Amino acid sequence: MPINILMPALSPTMEKGNLAKWLKKEGDKVKSGDVIAEIETDKATMEVEAVDEGTIAKILVPEGTQDVAVNDVIAVLAGDGEDVKSAGAGAASAPPKAAPAAQPPAAAKPATPPPPAAQAPKLAPPSVAALAPQAAAPAPQTNGHARTFSSPLARRLAKEAGIDIARIGGSGPHGRVIARDIAEAKSGKGLKAPAATPAGAPAIAPAMSDKQILALFEPGSYEIVPHDGMRRTIAQRLTAAAQTIPHFYLTMDCDVGKLLAAREEINAAAPKDKEKKPLYKLSVNDFVIKAMAIALQRIPDCNVSWTETGMVKHKHSDIGVAVAMPGGLITPIIRQAETKALATISNQMKDFAARARARKLKPDEYQGGTTAISNLGMYGIKDFTAVINPPHATILAVGTSEERAVVRQGKIEAAQIMSVTLSCDHRAIDGALGAELIGAFKMLIENPVMMMV
């Protein structure tokens, strides 16, 4: 009986992916463990292995296809002894047996859950899937007072027409707004009166539609580059973060003179390999990662994630580090950074950065974490603020180190100063607590020998 090869879920939050490349063609025989395709998620390109043995009877989704939903049938595998032509001819109709024949190479089997009586309440931090509308259910539109259910087509048509969908009466099932309701609304029929704004509450202006934006520019004076999955995910997550997380910011100047001297001395003394190349080369960012990891251990009430159920207090400092890549950025995570030597952190970050730019990171290498660091010092940026990446409660924005005039004991001296800004989630961390964290970081970064204790 033919076996369906399904679009695999390469991460817990994946809903769609791009079928980048087929590594097998129709008629090819495959064995369990053979790599059959490359799938692009919003963050990485991953190889997919076959689980069953057989022959590729029919490829249903050609390579280069974008936004293929998880569990969609992408190909059909004919089992041993089965007629390949017959299996391929019947691929259009769903076979009675639909078994996923492809899984990510490092997919872990889910653990058997404990008995219901022994289970503790689950605290689920926000994820990409939690922040974006689910594909299986229509997204409700809100006007601040009531929920308006609508079809995806209706929402798009309403947006293009510049009509608030909450003012449209739905004629679909259970009052759902559908495409024909938008057509009537354009002619002025079926529109409700605008919802009253509560006293003292500012009215929020609706976002401009694509049509309204393009109307502002002369035709032919621009080109439209479609968003890829990464850009859309970044937009969704950071929009949700800015709207739902009450940010506040704390800035300090750090004297990194001792750090720069220590870095130069450590790098000069680094052991060499057989090719006379140093086994490691520390960067300022490596010290920043280590200092932040230890600071979170010293101020454990800042090493948290907010959920509506309760505060998630983390035992280890898992530090995400923003890495720029074509079309966006990704945040690989140094796990248990407080326990790792600077040389280990340095080499791990170099490996992560290289694989991130090639989109070869695995989901478990960039998902989660307890805080993040965004360093724009290499671009000469003096200071900036960064948007918190859920489920983190903090993010540290690091500027360049530069020679500045400082006053010490009444005398003006030159010093190497680096400005850092800590963004905090006010739901989880109050001002005084955030000040303790950035203060602990400053003490460590200014006295790097304390990181070795």
Which of these is catalytic: 247, 314, 316, 426? 426
The strand pairing partners of 19, in sequence order, are: 39, 65
By the 8 A CB rule, do 313 and 364 touch? no
**Of the candidates 318, 376, 381, the residue with the CA atom closest to the CA atom of residue 352:** 318
By the 8 A CB rule, do 128 and 13 touch? yes
By the 8 A CB rule, do 278 and 270 touch? yes
| Cα 266 to chain centroid, rounded | 34
By the 8 A CB rule, do 69 and 383 touch? no
| DSSP structure class, residue 339 | G
Q: How far is residue 377's CA from residue 383's CA, in Å, rounded to a whole number?
A: 8
10 Å Cβ neighbour count for 171? 13
Q: Where are the alpha helices (DSSP H) in 191-341?
A: 210-214, 229-244, 257-268, 284-298
Residue 345 gets the label, from left (phi > 0), alpha (psi -120 to 50) or beta, of: alpha
| Cα 35 to chain centroid, rounded | 26
Q: How far is residue 436's CA from residue 443's CA, in Å, rounded to a whole number?
A: 11
Tokens of 148: 């308006």
426 noted as active-site residue: yes
Q: How far is residue 418's CA from residue 445's CA, in Å, rounded to a whole number?
A: 10
Peptide bond into 100 cis (omega under 30): no
By the 8 A CB rule, do 336 and 320 touch? no
Reduced to 3 states, what is the DSSP secondary structure of residue 104? coil
Q: How far is residue 132's CA from residue 307's CA, in Å, rounded to a whole number?
A: 17
Q: Residue holding tokens 């969704």?
A: 236
Q: How far is CA 185 from CA 70, 139, 169, 180, 419, in A?
A: 35, 20, 9, 9, 54
CA angle 364, 368, 122 (to 5 degrees): 110
What angle, 0 to 180 degrees and rounded to 10, lies between the N-to-C axes of helices 284-298 and 431-446? 130
Q: Which residues are catalytic?
A: 426
